[in-house]
Amino acid sequence: MKNPTLLSPTESGTCSLLEPVQSVAQGIISRAVLTTPALRLTLFHFAAGQELSEHTSKARALVQVLTGTCQFTVEGRTHTLKPGDLLHLPPGAPHAVTAPEPFSMLLTQITEPTA
């Protein structure tokens, strides 16, 4: 059976976040890195010209740009992100992303306990 995530939630392990992806000429490719009830790590690869329209999430999110550059619009303010940049998105913050060139990012989503 194929592993649904790159890392097991019950065992220690490693994976490469910078391993090349097979030809992302069009579209967006995502791959689950690690998933637990409170934490989700997802690796994204965007082809040039791709966009995600404005949306929100109930989870707290951290975006780490790995390769290329992108533009994140958060609550109406645009941020140009490059490799090594980290963006924090509080729960409920409206955001969108545009890829002027191919880029990769690691998205960390943390689901906080409700009071």
Determine, yes or no, domain membership for 10: no
Is it the case that residue 109 has pLDDT exceeding 50? Answer: yes
Q: What is the CATH number of the domain that holds 64?
A: 2.60.120.10
State which amino acid sits at residue 16.
Answer: S
Q: How confident is the model at residue 1 (pLDDT cuts 50, 70, 90)?
A: very low
Determine, yes or no, domain membership for 89: yes
Domain count, the chain: 1
Structural domain harbouring 53: 41-110
CA-CA distance, 26 to 110, in Å (whole number)? 29
Determine, yes or no, domain membership for 18: no
Is it the case that residue 23 has pLDDT exceeding 60? Answer: no
40-75 pLDDT tens trace: 999 999 999 999 999 999 999 999 999 999 999 999
Residues with Cβ within 8 Å of 22's Cβ and at least 6 positions away in sequence, in order, are none
What mean pLDDT, rounded, does the chain reach? 91
Q: How confident is the model at residue 18 (pLDDT cuts 50, 70, 90)?
A: confident
